[in-house]
Amino acid sequence: MHRMWAMAIVLLPATAALADPLSDAIGGKAQGICYKRNYSAEHLAKNPDQLTHSIQLSLAPHPEGRGALARLAIADAEGEVYSIGECFWNASAGLGDDGKPYTATFKGGPGLDCTARASPNWAWEEEVKEGGLFVVDMRDGKSMTIHTQDEIAAWPQLNRDAPAGFYPLGPDDRIFRVDRVTPDNCMEMVDLLGWDGN
């Protein structure tokens, strides 16, 4: 009996260490979770250098059972582009191998390290190409903040039949606070922007 209690005491911290806010937030929901922000005309008038009119983020369970698949929809006056990638929880997110921040607006800390993909969905493993890094500050689950670099791989339609282009993000379009909405707001993007492990 004493040995069993000792094992329980040892195992509890290890179990807790395996948990992370990303897994808790998704909670096994196949449709994942959805966040969105529509910028008002008043906001855009006060920030004339901001080109982004709306942004949407979906985080859905990764088919390999680790981290999440992230999908982004970014709209400006000319239309909408779509990005897909992988996100993983990190207690020291946003830092490169050299220990320096890889975005200008997030200096490092708990959050999601995310890598966009630039390759089409038919690419072989050796042909897979990265399409930029971004960080997601998860905050309290009701809202998140996305921090990007100066460009991200994206498609002008909801399919990955060809390699992505690179969508430029100016200084006023690299940090976005998004609020949680119902998953149906992201379902079209989740259904059509596919992921085949590449």
Q: What is the pLDDT of residue 64?
A: 86
- What mean pLDDT do residues 132-142 have? 91
Encode pLDDT of 79-128 as tens digits. Answer: 999 999 999 999 999 999 999 999 999 999 999 999 999 998 888 887 88
**Sorting pLDDT into bands at 50, 70 and 90, what band is 76?**
very high
Residue 170 to residues 114, 118, 147, 156: CA-CA distances in angstroms? 19, 19, 12, 18
Residue 71 to residues 13, 109, 189: CA-CA distances in angstroms? 33, 22, 7
| Number of residues in the chain | 198
- Range with the lowest mean pLDDT among 94-98, 136-140, 165-169? 136-140
Residue 5 to residues 8, 10, 142, 177: CA-CA distances in angstroms? 5, 9, 38, 45
Rounded Cα distance, 86 and 28, in Å: 16
- Range with the lowest mean pLDDT among 68-77, 100-109, 135-144? 135-144
- Range with the lowest mean pLDDT among 8-17, 58-67, 116-125, 158-167? 8-17
Contact (Cβ atoms closer than 8 angstroms) between residue 52 and residue 39:
yes
For residue 41, count CB atoms less than 10 angstroms from its CB and return exposed for 0-12, middle for 13-18, buried for 19 or more.
Answer: exposed
pLDDT above 70 (res 39): yes
Q: What is the pLDDT of residue 125?
A: 80
**Closest residue by Cα to residue 106 from 120, 89, 94, 92:** 94
**Sorting pLDDT into bands at 50, 70 and 90, what band is 19?**
low
- In the DSSP assignment, the letter for residue 33 is E
pTM of the full predicted structure? 0.87
**Closest residue by Cα to residue 87 from 23, 37, 151, 139:** 23
Rounded Cα distance, 30 and 188, in Å: 14
Rounded Cα distance, 164 and 193, in Å: 12
**Sorting pLDDT into bands at 50, 70 and 90, what band is 41?**
very high
**Closest residue by Cα to residue 149 from 183, 189, 102:** 102
Q: How many CB atoms lie within 10 A of CB 105?
A: 17
